[in-house]
Amino acid sequence: MSYPYNGKRKGISLVEMTIAVILFGVLSTIAMLYYKSLFNIDLTAKKARVAALMDQAYQLSGAYDVFVAQQGVSPSLSDLTDFNASNVLILRSLPRDIREMTTTGWELNITSANGRPAFQFPIDLNGTSYQSLKDDDLYCAIFNHELNNSVELNVTNNTNFGDMNASYALYGDEFCFSEDTGGGIYKHWVMIVK
Protein backbone atom coordinates (compact mmCIF):
# COMPACT_ATOMS: atom_id res chain seq x y z
CA MET A 1 0.00 0.00 0.00
CA SER A 2 1.49 3.35 -0.96
CA TYR A 3 0.63 6.62 0.61
CA PRO A 4 -0.06 9.64 -1.50
CA TYR A 5 2.46 12.54 -1.45
CA ASN A 6 1.02 15.23 0.84
CA GLY A 7 3.56 18.04 0.12
CA LYS A 8 5.78 17.50 3.15
CA ARG A 9 9.36 16.57 2.38
CA LYS A 10 11.93 14.81 4.48
CA GLY A 11 15.47 16.25 4.88
CA ILE A 12 17.00 19.52 3.68
CA SER A 13 17.80 20.78 0.25
CA LEU A 14 21.25 21.49 -1.15
CA VAL A 15 20.57 25.25 -1.09
CA GLU A 16 19.64 25.16 2.60
CA MET A 17 22.73 23.16 3.43
CA THR A 18 24.95 25.59 1.51
CA ILE A 19 23.46 28.56 3.37
CA ALA A 20 24.03 26.80 6.72
CA VAL A 21 27.68 26.04 5.87
CA ILE A 22 28.27 29.67 4.81
CA LEU A 23 26.68 30.96 8.03
CA PHE A 24 28.82 28.63 10.16
CA GLY A 25 31.92 29.79 8.25
CA VAL A 26 31.13 33.47 8.83
CA LEU A 27 30.42 32.89 12.52
CA SER A 28 33.63 30.88 12.89
CA THR A 29 35.66 33.62 11.24
CA ILE A 30 34.20 36.27 13.54
CA ALA A 31 34.80 34.06 16.59
CA MET A 32 38.42 33.42 15.55
CA LEU A 33 39.15 37.12 15.05
CA TYR A 34 37.63 37.89 18.45
CA TYR A 35 39.61 35.04 20.05
CA LYS A 36 42.90 36.24 18.54
CA SER A 37 42.36 39.77 19.84
CA LEU A 38 41.42 38.40 23.25
CA PHE A 39 44.25 35.88 23.56
CA ASN A 40 47.74 37.19 22.82
CA ILE A 41 49.96 34.22 21.99
CA ASP A 42 53.18 36.27 22.16
CA LEU A 43 52.41 37.57 25.65
CA THR A 44 51.45 34.08 26.82
CA ALA A 45 54.79 32.72 25.56
CA LYS A 46 56.59 35.46 27.50
CA LYS A 47 54.68 34.54 30.66
CA ALA A 48 55.71 30.90 30.19
CA ARG A 49 59.38 31.93 29.86
CA VAL A 50 59.12 34.01 33.05
CA ALA A 51 57.59 31.01 34.84
CA ALA A 52 60.50 28.83 33.64
CA LEU A 53 62.91 31.52 34.85
CA MET A 54 61.28 31.50 38.28
CA ASP A 55 61.56 27.71 38.41
CA GLN A 56 65.27 27.94 37.63
CA ALA A 57 65.67 30.56 40.36
CA TYR A 58 64.09 28.27 42.95
CA GLN A 59 66.36 25.40 41.87
CA LEU A 60 69.43 27.61 42.24
CA SER A 61 68.23 28.91 45.60
CA GLY A 62 67.82 25.36 46.87
CA ALA A 63 71.25 24.39 45.51
CA TYR A 64 72.74 27.39 47.32
CA ASP A 65 71.23 26.26 50.62
CA VAL A 66 72.52 22.70 50.14
CA PHE A 67 75.99 24.00 49.23
CA VAL A 68 76.16 26.13 52.38
CA ALA A 69 74.97 23.18 54.49
CA GLN A 70 77.52 20.80 52.92
CA GLN A 71 80.52 23.09 52.71
CA GLY A 72 79.87 25.47 55.59
CA VAL A 73 80.70 28.48 53.39
CA SER A 74 78.99 30.40 50.59
CA PRO A 75 79.90 29.60 46.98
CA SER A 76 82.79 31.70 45.76
CA LEU A 77 82.34 31.62 42.00
CA SER A 78 79.86 33.88 40.26
CA ASP A 79 79.49 31.51 37.30
CA LEU A 80 77.72 28.88 39.46
CA THR A 81 80.17 26.06 38.67
CA ASP A 82 80.46 25.36 42.41
CA PHE A 83 77.00 23.76 42.26
CA ASN A 84 77.94 21.04 39.79
CA ALA A 85 81.62 20.62 40.66
CA SER A 86 82.70 16.98 40.90
CA ASN A 87 83.46 17.23 44.64
CA VAL A 88 80.02 18.70 45.44
CA LEU A 89 77.61 17.63 42.67
CA ILE A 90 74.50 19.35 44.00
CA LEU A 91 73.10 19.98 40.54
CA ARG A 92 73.66 17.50 37.76
CA SER A 93 73.69 20.40 35.30
CA LEU A 94 73.29 24.13 35.59
CA PRO A 95 70.06 25.72 34.31
CA ARG A 96 70.14 26.40 30.60
CA ASP A 97 69.95 29.95 29.34
CA ILE A 98 66.54 31.00 28.13
CA ARG A 99 67.80 32.22 24.78
CA GLU A 100 64.75 34.42 24.10
CA MET A 101 65.66 36.43 27.22
CA THR A 102 69.45 36.52 27.64
CA THR A 103 72.85 35.99 26.11
CA THR A 104 74.67 35.14 29.35
CA GLY A 105 72.35 33.44 31.89
CA TRP A 106 72.34 33.22 35.68
CA GLU A 107 75.14 34.63 37.85
CA LEU A 108 75.73 34.66 41.59
CA ASN A 109 76.23 38.14 42.98
CA ILE A 110 77.96 37.71 46.36
CA THR A 111 77.09 41.20 47.66
CA SER A 112 73.89 42.51 46.15
CA ALA A 113 70.87 44.06 47.86
CA ASN A 114 71.66 44.91 51.49
CA GLY A 115 74.94 43.00 51.18
CA ARG A 116 73.12 39.66 50.85
CA PRO A 117 74.02 37.22 48.07
CA ALA A 118 71.61 36.98 45.16
CA PHE A 119 71.13 35.21 41.90
CA GLN A 120 70.85 37.64 39.04
CA PHE A 121 69.62 37.07 35.52
CA PRO A 122 70.22 39.71 32.82
CA ILE A 123 67.35 40.27 30.43
CA ASP A 124 69.39 41.69 27.62
CA LEU A 125 68.09 40.83 24.16
CA ASN A 126 65.91 43.92 23.54
CA GLY A 127 63.68 42.28 20.97
CA THR A 128 60.83 44.24 19.39
CA SER A 129 58.20 41.63 18.59
CA TYR A 130 55.40 42.95 20.81
CA GLN A 131 54.00 46.18 19.36
CA SER A 132 56.47 49.01 20.00
CA LEU A 133 57.68 47.75 23.38
CA LYS A 134 60.95 46.00 23.81
CA ASP A 135 60.68 42.42 25.00
CA ASP A 136 63.00 43.18 27.91
CA ASP A 137 60.51 45.73 29.27
CA LEU A 138 57.71 43.18 29.06
CA TYR A 139 59.69 40.37 30.71
CA CYS A 140 60.54 42.65 33.63
CA ALA A 141 56.94 43.85 33.96
CA ILE A 142 55.61 40.30 33.81
CA PHE A 143 58.09 39.15 36.46
CA ASN A 144 57.10 41.94 38.85
CA HIS A 145 53.42 41.51 38.04
CA GLU A 146 53.43 37.81 38.87
CA LEU A 147 55.08 38.48 42.20
CA ASN A 148 52.99 41.50 43.13
CA ASN A 149 49.42 41.70 41.79
CA SER A 150 49.13 45.41 42.56
CA VAL A 151 51.61 46.18 39.76
CA GLU A 152 49.84 46.58 36.43
CA LEU A 153 51.32 45.26 33.22
CA ASN A 154 51.41 48.76 31.77
CA VAL A 155 54.83 49.51 30.38
CA THR A 156 56.25 51.81 27.76
CA ASN A 157 59.41 51.52 25.73
CA ASN A 158 62.60 51.55 27.86
CA THR A 159 60.69 51.60 31.12
CA ASN A 160 62.74 52.27 34.22
CA PHE A 161 61.62 49.76 36.86
CA GLY A 162 63.72 51.45 39.52
CA ASP A 163 67.23 50.71 40.72
CA MET A 164 68.13 47.60 42.69
CA ASN A 165 67.65 49.08 46.17
CA ALA A 166 64.32 50.75 45.33
CA SER A 167 62.98 47.55 43.75
CA TYR A 168 64.23 45.49 46.69
CA ALA A 169 62.38 47.79 49.09
CA LEU A 170 59.20 47.60 46.97
CA TYR A 171 59.08 43.91 46.04
CA GLY A 172 61.15 42.07 48.63
CA ASP A 173 63.53 39.22 47.78
CA GLU A 174 62.33 38.58 44.18
CA PHE A 175 62.17 41.44 41.72
CA CYS A 176 63.16 42.82 38.35
CA PHE A 177 64.94 46.17 38.20
CA SER A 178 66.49 48.50 35.65
CA GLU A 179 70.01 49.74 35.24
CA ASP A 180 70.63 52.83 33.11
CA THR A 181 73.31 51.98 30.58
CA GLY A 182 73.38 55.54 29.24
CA GLY A 183 71.36 57.43 26.67
CA GLY A 184 68.04 56.48 28.27
CA ILE A 185 68.58 52.78 27.52
CA TYR A 186 67.84 50.46 30.43
CA LYS A 187 69.17 46.98 31.03
CA HIS A 188 66.86 44.81 33.11
CA TRP A 189 67.92 42.31 35.77
CA VAL A 190 65.92 39.69 37.64
CA MET A 191 67.22 39.30 41.20
CA ILE A 192 66.52 36.52 43.68
CA VAL A 193 68.02 37.57 47.02
CA LYS A 194 69.03 34.87 49.51
Is there a domain that residue 128 lies in? yes
DSSP 90: S
Given this model, what pLDDT does residue 149 score? Answer: 45
Report yes or no on 8 lying in a domain. Answer: no
Q: Are 134 and 126 in contact (CB under 8 A)?
A: yes
Answer yes or no: is 171 within a domain.
yes
Domain housing 81:
38-193
Domain contains 22: no
Whether residue 47 lies inside any domain: the answer is yes
How much is the pLDDT for 55? 92
Number of domains in the chain: 1
pLDDT tens, per residue, the chain with 194 residues? 566 666 666 778 888 899 999 999 999 988 887 776 666 677 778 888 889 999 998 888 888 888 888 888 777 766 677 777 777 778 888 888 888 888 788 888 877 777 788 888 888 776 544 444 577 777 888 887 754 444 445 554 445 566 777 777 777 788 888 877 777 667 788 888 88
